[in-house]
């Protein structure tokens, strides 16, 4: 027995098992779950574009960025934003899936709301409506503000307020100089919010907004979030809202995981029953496959949906299929009278082309689904499938092969029966190691 090779084999096993047990749960928790697994809200909006100006690629990108910023302000991440077809009125549609959001009505308000903040130097009362309306061009807008607005309590009055900061401090300085001891008029979505009198010149670009309906901390935080998210490039009209409760999502996840565990256990048992020690090595390689796949998902920030989880479990079967092809080639070489080490080496070589070809065809199918399958579940399934195929080639072809070659070279087990060969094919004394 060659102890160095055996220790190398045991070290590889220890690394796989140790990493999986120690870091696997944390990696799993770091993978964002989709709406169908975590619960949340599915929103379908109509995009109100100007007549004769359909939504172009630039507008689509700007709209997606604005919605992502608004979703991030809710304290959740990894939203699924996808452009749909057009409704009966010919309007473009956009679907937003937000998983894990606790206050669904808040999500509706934040995503679709448009905080149009404008500051004017003059205003008047409209005789027809009796409302205060601005006069002249605006001195500044919400686009001039940094994305760091937040709720504060005014130290002098004790009122709730929203702290703001201008991108260009000189702009606010010039406004306060020009309107020193004069009022300015702050409008929010066309409604007068407050009309404070400038009492001193401000040089830092920082100020506070109060008054109107900004009487509670929540109202101030809502406005701050809307200001930080910026204005939407196009107005949105909510067409439908579908809620998925966290209990339903957790049930789907639980049932899918149970099905996955049962499938993996049956695969492990089959491999050990059919290929003995070689099957056990394949099972260890499958553990490495699962670990690396989850690590890839976490690193790429892939949102794991129910269809993606199904593809992940399917990938276990694809990965073990490569081991089965290899072991059958090894058994053929043993039947032809080759020594165990020679059979392992040549069997792996002969199986390589077949494994690559079979996985390449499946990968092409996944790529076609990703390109032409539209957005949502189909793409989620395709991404998980393609990631699983790439990882399975690394683990089943390279890692499992390395472990098998190292173990056979250790001469710890010389009987080909332990590698899947039928009894009596090759006698122990004829095994050349």
- The pLDDT tens digits for 22-66 are 999 999 888 888 777 777 888 888 888 777 677 777 777 878 877
Q: Give the per-residue pLDDT at 247.
A: 66
State which fold the 3-36+245-419 domain adopts: Multidrug efflux transporter AcrB transmembrane fold (1.20.1640)
Mean pLDDT of 116-126: 88
d(CA 249, CA 39): 5
Task: Name the 3-class secondary structure at 255.
Answer: helix
Confidence of residue 433 (pLDDT cuts 50, 70, 90): very low
For the chain, give every domain's residue range. Answer: 3-36+245-419, 115-231
Confidence of residue 432 (pLDDT cuts 50, 70, 90): very low
Q: Give the per-residue pLDDT at 423.
A: 66
Q: Give the per-residue pLDDT at 16.
A: 93
Structure-token pair, residue 87: 């409704």
Mean pLDDT of 198-225: 84
* Non-local CB neighbours of 303 within 8 Å, separated by 6+ positions: 32, 33, 34, 78, 80, 99, 380
Q: Give the per-residue pLDDT at 229.
A: 65
Inter-residue contact 232 to 65 (CB < 8 Å): no
Mean pLDDT of 185-201: 84
What is the per-residue pLDDT across 272-294, written as a single tens digit (0 to 9) for each?
998 888 899 999 999 999 999 99
Mean pLDDT of 208-236: 77
State which fold the 115-231 domain adopts: Gyrase A; domain 2 (3.30.1360)
Structure-token pair, residue 30: 């770091």
DSSP for 135-194, written as a single string? -SS-SEEGGGB-S--EEEE-TTT--EEEEEEBSSHHHHHHHHHHTBTSB-EEEETTEEEE
Q: Which of 186-195, 240-249, 296-305, 319-328 has the lowest mean pLDDT?
A: 240-249
Mean pLDDT of 356-383: 83
pTM (two decimals): 0.65
């Amino acid at each position: 027995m060659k102890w160095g090779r055996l220790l190398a084999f045991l070290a590889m096993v220890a690394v796989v098992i140790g990493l999986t047990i120690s870091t696997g749960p944390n990696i799993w928790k770091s993978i964002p779950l989709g709406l169908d697994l975590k619960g949340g809200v599915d929103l379908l909006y109509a995009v109100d574009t100007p007549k004769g100006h359909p939504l172009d690629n630039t507008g689509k990108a700007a709209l997606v960025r604005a919605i992502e910023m608004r979703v991030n302000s809710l304290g959740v991440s990894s939203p699924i934003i996808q452009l749909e077809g057009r409704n009966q009125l010919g309007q473009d549609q956009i679907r937003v899936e937000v998983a894990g959001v606790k206050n669904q009505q808040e999500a509706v308000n934040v995503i679709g709301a448009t905080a149009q903040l404008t500051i004017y130097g003059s205003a008047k009362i409209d005789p027809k409506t009796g409302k205060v309306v601005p006069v002249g061009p605006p001195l500044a807008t919400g686009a001039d503000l940094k994305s760091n607005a937040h709720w504060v309590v005014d130290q002098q009055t004790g009122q709730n307020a929203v702290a703001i900061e201008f991108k260009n401090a000189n702009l606010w300085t010039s406004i306060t100089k020009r309107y020193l001891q004069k009022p300015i008029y702050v409008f929010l979505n066309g409604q007068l919010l407050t009309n404070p009198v400038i009492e001193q010149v401000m040089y830092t670009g920082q100020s506070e907004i109060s008054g109107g309906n900004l009487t509670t901390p929540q109202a101030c935080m809502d406005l701050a979030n809307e200001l930080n998210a910026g204005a939407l490039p196009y107005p949105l009209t909510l067409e439908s809202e579908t809620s998925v409760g966290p209990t339903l999502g957790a049930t789907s996840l639980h049932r899918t995981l149970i099905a996955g565990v049962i499938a993996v256990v049956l695969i492990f048992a089959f491999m050990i029953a059919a290929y003995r020690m070689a099957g056990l090595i394949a099972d260890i390689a499958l553990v490495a496959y699962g670990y690396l796949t989850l690590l890839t998902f976490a690193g790429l920030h892939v949102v794991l949906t129910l269809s993606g989880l199904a593809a992940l479990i399917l990938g276990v079967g694809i990965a073990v299929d490569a081991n089965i092809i290899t072991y059958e080639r090894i058994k053929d070489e043993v039947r032809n009278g080759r020594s165990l080490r020679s059979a392992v080496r040549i069997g792996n070589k002969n199986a390589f082309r077949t494994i690559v070809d079979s996985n390449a065809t499946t990968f092409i199918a996944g790529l076609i689904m990703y390109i032409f399958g539209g957005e949502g579940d189909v793409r989620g399934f395709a991404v998980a499938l393609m990631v699983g195929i790439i990882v399975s080639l690394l683990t089943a072809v390279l890692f499992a092969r390395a472990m098998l070659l190292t173990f056979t070279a250790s001469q710890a087990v010389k009987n080909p029966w332990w590698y899947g060969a039928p009894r009596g094919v090759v006698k122990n004394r004829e095994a050349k190691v």
